[in-house]
Amino acid sequence: MRVQHIKNEKRYVLDPGDHYITDKPIIISTLLGSCVSACLYDPINKVMGMNHFLLSNKRYMKDGALCLTEAGRYGVHAMEIIINGMINQGAARKYIKAKAFGGGNVLQPTAKKTGFFCVGEVNTRFIKEFLENEKIQLVTSDLGGNHGRVIRFYGSDYSVYVKKIGIRETDKIRKRDNKYWKQTIQKQKEKETEIELW
């Protein structure tokens, strides 16, 4: 995570894999391609959090239960970190609401005829499935498409500014997301091959 000072604003900028939780009225920002950001907030206790994650598989069968897969468990972990962190800062789970963004198909084109979801579609499907399973209201979303997005989550009123970006910037995000996706796969493989000694 980085902190940017733009005019009179202080922004906390998330990179892939980051999250941030606060009870202060700040701005959290990120740049999304295939990744998804969940912007969670408890408007009663005034706690907010945002993450930036990418599931570790590029393709999944369309009729599978995504939250139960290994990649889905990675997403569940990313979501639980932010929910538990918000509760630790005073949020009540019953008041938490969500806004979700990203999931653009920037790593590969959609595979409509193959019976599989592509990476952006996998991330989009995951966040909707997770929120529904956890009974967290999805207030609004801007998911999918073939472009990247800049988002800014405002702690003053929990609004989210979304700006879709052009082809040149989306190409830069494609390269970043591909690198992040490969790192995520490597971490998952290392975790699967770890041996516990008793």
The whole-number average pLDDT for the span 145-165 is: 93
Identify the pLDDT of residue 125.
Answer: 87
**Listed range (39-43, 44-48, 53-57, 134-138) with the worst mean pLDDT:** 53-57
- Whole-number mean pLDDT of the chain? 80
Strand order in the sheet with 19-22: 19-22, 47-51, 36-42, 97-102, 137-143
Residue with tokens 């040149």: 168
Long-range pairs of 176-181 with CB within 8 A, sequence gap ≥ 24:
176/16, 176/33, 177/16, 177/33, 177/34, 177/35, 177/54, 177/106, 177/107, 177/119, 178/107, 180/16, 180/17, 180/35, 180/54, 181/34, 181/54, 181/56, 181/58, 181/107, 181/119
Burial (CB count within 10 angstroms: exposed 0-12, middle 13-18, buried 19+), residue 27: middle
Identify the pLDDT of residue 197.
Answer: 43
pLDDT(81) > 50: yes
